[in-house]
Amino acid sequence: MDIIYLSDLKIETVIGIYGWERQIKQTIVLDLAMATDIRQAAITDRIEDTLNYKAVAKRLIEFVSHSDFQLIETLAESVAEVVMTEFSISWIRVKLNKPGAIRGAHDVGVIIERGKKF
């Protein structure tokens, strides 16, 4: 299995359960690890033969910035579904951080792994 990763993608969105959180945009940070087969791209040296991480990032920026979930768990699950469905990957690990959510902690978040059922 080959992994293409995207690290430290910062996106502004509405996220949270408290009233004040519903009124502002906060920064979330995404780290993704995505399973794909890069052998053909390594042979051809063509972007069309691999997972285009720029396209993934652009899609997630568009999706997340327009979302308004309450829970980071729901957002992480939705991110995994978007990437797996739209980019035809078989497995993904999503780490979603919400910096500053807890006083005294650098950040909090969730890590999920999802794979297609065969």
Name the residues annotated as catalytic: 98
Picking from 58, 53, 57, 95, the residue whose alpha carbon sits closest to that of residue 75 is 95
Picking from 59, 56, 11, the residue whose alpha carbon sits closest to that of residue 32 is 56
Picking from 93, 22, 110, 27, the residue whose alpha carbon sits closest to that of residue 65 is 27
